[in-house]
């Protein structure tokens, strides 16, 4: 089956490439000429484990191609996926649908035979209906259907998540569109992945509800971490103690500096806004957003506390800048709140991140960037772990201590244990312990 995918950002590129891996013929479209030229040469613009080799393999097999010409991509395509960005609109937190609607207008002019128009981008409930109305103004309704097929990909594990998902959700209005999506996802039926067909509105809500629920788990355990710190309990053991209850589940209960990334912050805000518009006050989700915003700010205070109440004139080593490991993505990373707050309090910051520094250089003025973890620590008054990259889990603590001016560690991801660090002579501050 031939499909077109509009937008070669994170979602579009991973989805398009994985559909070609399923054996479909995929053409990915983007307006960015340079990006398309690079992709044609096998140069992938983002860091995602396994993606570059999969792009090259499928391109060489003739199943995956890239173009700036939507007409070429849509020629003979059974479905066109919209995977353009839906950033937070400045000021009001609503999802900005201008890229989506611009794509819809271009699609409208190019549909020559029956095509399923599928939203892959995260769009507020009701967007599918709006797209249908927009297309109907220009096309006869038997020429197209509009479906919602949200993605649930984690950065750093996106290929695995696409090829072996917990579930696939398809929001469709009729059997005809359902047939096209069934054919596209047929390889997953073989390994018995649940593929849920439901209404378009339901699919749109599933996506936001899933992200809001996961964000809720994180804000919840972060609040428990604050409580644990006050009463002398250990949040990691609390997480284990509750997580073994199958109704709760053990995943997504790591206390930390607050969630970041391209999805949770934006989607929770957009959900609150679109529910507001529908006359529903989502009090829980609103609280989740507030707790997370406050948390990112509170982390700077925690570092200052761990440094004995002041960081003025101190040199702070920071390990990890991205919002989580195995990505180069800096979007809404807690580091973007924590580091400037420390600088404002008078600290000099030396940081290292395995993949995020290129991007971080534009976002964190005044921060010194090191070539490896140990370089940040030379003469440092404190070491702060912001992101739990694997390479930070097994630091040579003797060497760290020798390099630092004073052996102080503030571990915002709990990758070390207090007893272990104390035995190496460190003053250790973790989260919720």
Q: What is the DSSP letter of 66?
A: E
Paired tokens of 39: 């992709």
* Distance in Å, CB of 62 to ligand UDX, minimum: 30
* Distance in Å, CB of 120 to ligand UDX, minimum: 11
Q: Which positions from 97 to 136 touch ligand UDX by CB under 6 A, shown as an x/- string?
A: ----------------------------------------
Q: What is the DSSP letter of 153?
A: P
* Distance in Å, CB of 417 to ligand UDX, minimum: 18
Count of residues that bind ligand UDX according to CB under 6 A: 20
Q: Which is nearer to ligand UDX, 145 or 151 (CB)?
A: 151
Known binding residue 127? Answer is no
Stretches 105-113, 247-255, 298-306, 350-358: which one binds ligand UDX (CB under 6 A)? 247-255
Paired tokens of 3: 């499909």
The DSSP code sequence of 350-413 is EEE-TTTHHHHHHHSTT-EE-SSHHHHTTT-SEEEE-S--GGGTT--HHHHHHHSSS-EEEETT
154 touching ligand UDX, by CB under 6 A: yes
Q: Which positions from 322 to 351 touch ligand UDX by CB under 6 A, shown as an x/- string?
A: -xx---------------------------
353 touching ligand UDX, by CB under 6 A: no
Helices and strands in the chain: count of H runs, count of E runs:
18, 14
Q: What's the CA gap between 407 and 380, in Å, rounded?
A: 8
* Distance in Å, CB of 356 to ligand UDX, minimum: 12
Of 134-153, which residues contact ligand UDX (CB under 6 A)? Answer: 151-153
Q: Which residues contact 298 (CB under 8 A, 6 or more apart)?
A: none
Q: What are the angstrom distances between the C-alpha of 197 and each of 167, 185, 317?
A: 11, 12, 50
264 touching ligand UDX, by CB under 6 A: yes
Q: What's the CA gap between 199 and 204, in Å, rounded?
A: 9
Q: What's the CA gap between 113 and 116, in Å, rounded?
A: 10
Confirm whether 170 is a catalytic residue.
Answer: no
Of 216-235, which residues contact ligand UDX (CB under 6 A)? Answer: 218
Q: What are the angstrom distances between the C-alpha of 394 and each of 257, 404, 407?
A: 21, 17, 16
Radius of gyration, alpha carbons of the chain: 24
Which helix (DSSP H) or strand (DSSP E) does residue 201 occupy? helix 200-231
Stretches 42-50, 92-100, 189-197, 246-254: which one binds ligand UDX (CB under 6 A)? 246-254
Catalytic residue among 18, 28, 170, 263: 263
Residue from 83, 108, 224, 253 in contact with ligand UDX (CB under 6 A): 253
Catalytic residues: 263
- Residues in the site for ligand UDX, rule: CB under 6 A? 151-155, 211, 214, 218, 252-254, 256, 259-264, 323-324
List residues forming the annotated binding site for NAD(+). Answer: 30, 35, 86, 122, 155, 266, 331
């Amino acid at each position: 089956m031939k499909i077109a995918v509009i937008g070669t950002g994170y979602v579009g590129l991973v989805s398009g490439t994985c559909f070609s891996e399923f054996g479909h013929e995929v053409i990915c479209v983007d307006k960015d000429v340079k990006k398309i030229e690079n992709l044609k040469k096998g140069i992938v613009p983002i860091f995602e484990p396994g993606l570059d080799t999969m792009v090259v393999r499928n391109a060489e097999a003739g199943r995956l191609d890239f173009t700036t010409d939507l007409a070429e991509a849509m020629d003979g395509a059974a479905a066109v996926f919209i995977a353009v960005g839906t950033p937070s609109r400045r000021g009001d937190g609503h999802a900005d649908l201008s890229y989506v609607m611009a794509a819809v207008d271009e699609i409208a002019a190019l549909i020559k035979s029956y095509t399923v128009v599928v939203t892959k981008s995260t769009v507020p409930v009701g967007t599918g209906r709006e797209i249908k109305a927009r297309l109907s103004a220009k096309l006869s309704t038997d020429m197209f259907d509009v479906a919602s097929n949200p993605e649930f990909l984690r950065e750093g594990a996106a290929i695995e998540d696409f090829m072996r998902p917990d579930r696939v959700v398809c929001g469709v209005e009729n059997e005809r569109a359902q047939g096209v999506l069934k054919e596209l996802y047929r390889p997953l039926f073989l390994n018995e992945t649940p593929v849920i067909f439901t209404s378009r509105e339901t699919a749109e809500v599933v996506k936001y509800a899933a992200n809001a629920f996961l964000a809720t788990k994180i804000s919840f355990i972060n609040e428990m971490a604050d409580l644990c710190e006050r009463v002398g309990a250990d949040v990691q053991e609390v997480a284990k103690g509750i997580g073994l209850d199958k109704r709760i589940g053990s995943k997504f209960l790591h206390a930390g500096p607050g969630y970041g990334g391209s999805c949770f912050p934006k989607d929770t805000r957009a959900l609150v806004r679109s529910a507001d518009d529908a006359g529903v006050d989502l009090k829980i989700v609103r609280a989740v957003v507030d707790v997370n915003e406050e948390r990112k700010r509170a982390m700077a205070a925690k570092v200052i506390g761990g440094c004995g109440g002041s960081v003025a004139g101190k040199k702070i080593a920071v390990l990890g800048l991205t919002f989580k490991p195995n990505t180069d993505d800096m979007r809404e990373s807690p580091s973007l709140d924590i580091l400037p707050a420390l600088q404002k309090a008078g600290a000099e910051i030396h940081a290292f991140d395995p993949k995020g520094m290129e991007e971080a250089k534009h976002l964190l003025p005044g921060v010194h960037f090191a070539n490896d973890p140990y370089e940040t620590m030379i003469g440092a008054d404190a070491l702060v772990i912001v992101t739990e990259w694997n390479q930070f889990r097994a630091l040579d603590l003797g060497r760290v201590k020798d390099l630092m001016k004073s052996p102080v560690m503030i571990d915002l991801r709990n990758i070390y244990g207090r007893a272990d660090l104390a035995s190496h002579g460190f003053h250790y501050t973790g989260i919720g312990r």
